Amino acid sequence: MPADHAGAALWRDGRGRTGLLLLGVIAAAALFAPAISPADPTTQHDVVATRFLAPGSTDLHGVFHPLGTDRLGRDVWARLVHGARVSLAVGGLAMAVSLVIGIAVGAAAAAGPPALGVLLLGATDFALGLPRVVLLLLLASLWEPSAELVVVVLGLTGWMPVARLVHAGIRAQLARPYVLSAVALGAGPIRVLLRHALPNAIAPVLALATLGVGNAITLEAGLSFLGLGVQPPAASWGTMIASGRDTVVNAPWVGLAPGIALVLVVVGCTLVADAVEERGRA
Amino acid sequence: MLRGFLLRLLRGAAVVFGVVTLTFLLLHLAPGDPVQRLLGPSAGLEQLEAARRELGLDRPLVQQYLGWLGRTVRGNFGVSIAQGRPAGDLLAEAWPATALLVLLSIALSWLGGIVVGAFQANTRRRTLDAWVSTGTVALNAMPGYWLGLALVMVFTYRLRWLPAFGAAGLDADFLGGWARLSDRLRHLALPLLTLTLIGLGGAARFSRAAMRDLRDSPFLVAASARGLPERRVVVRHQLRNALVPIVTLLGLSLPALFSGAVFVEAVFAWPGVGQVLVQAVQARDYPVVMAAATISAVLVVAGNLLAEFLVTTVDPRVRDRDAG
| Contact yes or no for A237/A83 (Cβ under 8 A) | yes
Mean pLDDT, rounded, for B151-157? 85
Helix (H) or strand (E) holding A57: strand A57-58
Q: B143: which DSSP letter?
A: -
Give the per-residue pLDDT at A1: 44
In order of A45, A244, A246, A248, B273, the CA distances from B149 in angstroms are 28, 9, 10, 8, 20
Task: Report how far residue A81's alpha carbon sits from residue A63's, in angstroms, rounded to the nearest whole number.
Answer: 17
Nearest CB partner across the interface for B143, out of A139, A144, A262: A262
CA distance B274 to A129: 19
- Judging contacts by C-beta atoms under 8 Å, the chain A residues touching residue B281 are 137-138, 141-142
- pLDDT for position A2: 47
Instruction: Decide if A125 touches B, using CB distance below 8 A.
Output: yes
Amino acid sitting at position B142: M
The residues, ordered by sequence, that sit 6+ positions from B55 with a Cβ below 8 Å of its Cβ are B34, B35, B81
Residues of A in contact with B304 (CB under 8 A): 129
For chain B positions 37-76, those within 8 Å of chain A (CB to CB) are none
What is the number of alpha carbons within 13 Å of residue A158 lying toward its C-beta? 30
Per-residue pLDDT tens listing for chain A (282 residues): 445 566 777 788 778 888 889 999 998 888 887 777 767 777 776 666 677 777 777 777 777 777 777 777 788 888 888 888 888 998 999 999 999 999 999 999 988 888 898 889 888 877 876 767 767 777 766 677 778 888 888 898 889 989 988 998 888 888 888 888 888 888 888 888 888 888 888 888 888 888 888 888 888 888 888 777 777 777 788 888 888 877 777 778 888 888 899 999 988 988 888 888 777 665
Helices (H) and strands (E) in chain A, counts: 14, 2
Instruction: Tell me, yes or no, if B302 comes closer than 8 A to chain A by beta carbon.
Output: no
Q: What is the DSSP string of B250-262?
A: HHHTTTHHHHTTH
pLDDT given for residue A103 in this prediction: 93
Q: Is A18 on the interface with B (CB under 8 A)?
A: no
- pTM, rounded to two decimals: 0.79
